[in-house]
């Protein structure tokens, strides 16, 4: 029988939520063990400059910010490990979780901070221009496109919200919508259609991007596959994806309540899940804000709740 390692507080994920949970858990002497997951540092490592996180008056490189948080968590005593948790049994305590190397961990408490992955179209150019004009977060990156021209891909409420936010900054916003209608709620459709800065391109597909120094335009196809199909290039400075996020919660869904998309449902605005001793923090439980600062705050709360749980408070 394989020997199991016992852990008082296991933290899964290494974005702002995971690292902040680690900082607080370490200071509470919970001897936290943190597994970084597939992307060490989370989504912010794919961002160039972060300007909206308090404490960095001149902005900070996303990778550097995550390195700073990691160093702080390590200095305080967190055991940070590379690797991914691939299996979870939350049916009884101690919880049993398995890493991608087959190591089994017995955890008294678990903080899930696995984040959510933005959905992309699957274009090679999205990877090529990532951080150079391609973004999946208008609130994060819209500031860099003041008085410039941008495009938002999507036709739901999220896309409309992103377009409206960007319209407050950019000089022109195109919405690239593959269907002949918006899927958004009536009130969001009305707001978008009444905004003079927003132009909706119905029945359009983005099939590529171009530019020598970052994104300079998008290759579009109108009425793809139809007899009157039209192909043309549209000059833009920024390309924003707003076709949804997928929470990284699959291995926990047998045990925890989630919404239809997969976001973990927590109790009354706390990081507590329906399983005592299991907590969720950051984007994996947040379909609304998805910001580094809110993720960090929820990581703090999760660690405090884990400490209270272990002390029986």
Answer whether 287's CB lies under 8 Å from 7's CB.
no
Question: pTM above the 0.95 mark?
Answer: no
Q: Residue 305: which pLDDT band, with cuts at 50, 70 and 90?
A: very high
61 among known catalytic residues: no
Which pLDDT does position 50 carry in this prediction? 84
Q: Give the dihedral sign, CA 61/296/156/250.
A: positive
Which pLDDT does position 2 carry in this prediction? 61
pLDDT in tens, 56-79: 999 998 889 999 999 999 999 999
300 among known catalytic residues: no
Helix, strand, or coil here: 25? helix
Better-predicted residue by pLDDT, 131 or 267:
267
Per-residue three-class SS string for 31-73 = CCEEECECCCCHHHHHCCEECCCCCCCCCEEHHHHHHHHHHHH
* Catalytic residue of the set 137, 160, 272, 300: 137
277: left (phi over 0), alpha (psi -120 to 50) or beta: left
For the chain, first and last CA: distance in Å? Answer: 35
pLDDT in tens, 91-110: 999 999 999 999 999 999 99
Range 9-32 average pLDDT:
97
pLDDT in tens, 271-292: 999 999 999 999 999 988 888 9
Helix, strand, or coil here: 96? strand
Which pLDDT does position 118 carry in this prediction? 85
Would you give the distance in Å from CA 234 to the centre of its chain?
28
Which pLDDT does position 48 carry in this prediction? 66
Above pLDDT 70, what percent of the chain? 98
Helix, strand, or coil here: 205? strand
Angstrom distance (rounded) from CA 294 to CA 313 = 25
Better-predicted residue by pLDDT, 148 or 42:
148
Q: Is the pLDDT confidence value at 42 over 80?
A: no
Q: How many CB atoms lie within 10 A of CB 49?
A: 17
Angle between helices 292-311 and 16-27 (to 10 degrees): 30
Angstrom distance (rounded) from CA 145 to CA 166 = 8
Angstrom distance (rounded) from CA 61 to CA 83 = 24
Q: Is the pLDDT confidence value at 206 over 90?
A: yes
272 among known catalytic residues: no
Which pLDDT does position 68 carry in this prediction? 94
Which pLDDT does position 313 carry in this prediction? 82
Above pLDDT 90, what percent of the chain? 84
* Catalytic residue of the set 9, 140, 272, 300: 140
* Catalytic residue of the set 125, 141, 286, 307: 141
133: left (phi over 0), alpha (psi -120 to 50) or beta: left
pLDDT in tens, 226-255: 999 999 999 999 999 999 889 999 999 999
DSSP 220-269: EEESTTSTT-EEEEEE-SEEEE-S-EEES-GGGTTTS-B-TT-PBP-STT
Q: Is the pLDDT confidence value at 1 over 70?
A: no
- Paired sense of beta strands 85-89 and 95-99, if any: antiparallel
Q: Is the pLDDT confidence value at 46 over 70?
A: no
């Amino acid at each position: 029988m394989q020997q199991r390692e016992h852990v008082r507080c296991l933290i899964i994920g290494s974005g702002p939520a995971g690292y902040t949970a680690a900082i607080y858990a370490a200071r509470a002497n919970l001897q936290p063990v943190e597994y970084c997951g597939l992307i060490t540092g989370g989504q912010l490592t794919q961002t160039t400059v972060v300007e909206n996180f308090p404490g960095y008056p001149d902005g900070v490189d996303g990778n550097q910010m995550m390195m700073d948080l990691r160093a702080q968590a390590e200095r305080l005593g967190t055991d940070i490990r590379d690797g991914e948790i691939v299996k979870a049994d939350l049916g009884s305590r101690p919880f049993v979780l398995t890493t991608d190397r087959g190591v089994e961990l017995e955890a008294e408490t678990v903080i899930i901070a696995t984040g959510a992955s933005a959905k992309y179209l699957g274009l090679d150019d999205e990877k090529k221009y990532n951080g150079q004009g391609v973004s999946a977060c208008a609130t994060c990156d819209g500031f860099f496109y003041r008085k410039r021209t941008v495009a938002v891909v999507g036709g739901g409420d999220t896309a409309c919200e992103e377009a409206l936010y960007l319209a407050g900054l950019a000089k022109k916003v195109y919405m690239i919508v593959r269907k002949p209608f918006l899927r958004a709620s009536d009130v969001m459709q009305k707001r978008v259609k009444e905004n003079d800065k927003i132009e909706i391109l119905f029945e359009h597909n983005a099939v590529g991007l171009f530019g020598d120094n970052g994104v300079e335009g998008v290759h579009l196809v109108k009425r793809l596959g139809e007899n009157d199909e039209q192909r043309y290039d549209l000059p833009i400075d920024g390309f924003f994806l707003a076709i949804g996020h997928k929470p990284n919660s699959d291995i926990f869904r047998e045990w925890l309540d989630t919404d239809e998309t997969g976001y973990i449902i927590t109790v009354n605005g706390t990081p507590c899940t329906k399983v005592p001793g299991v907590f969720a923090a950051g984007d994996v439980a947040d379909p609304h804000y998805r910001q580094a600062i809110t993720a960090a705050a929820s990581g703090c709360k999760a660690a405090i709740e884990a400490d209270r749980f272990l002390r029986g408070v």
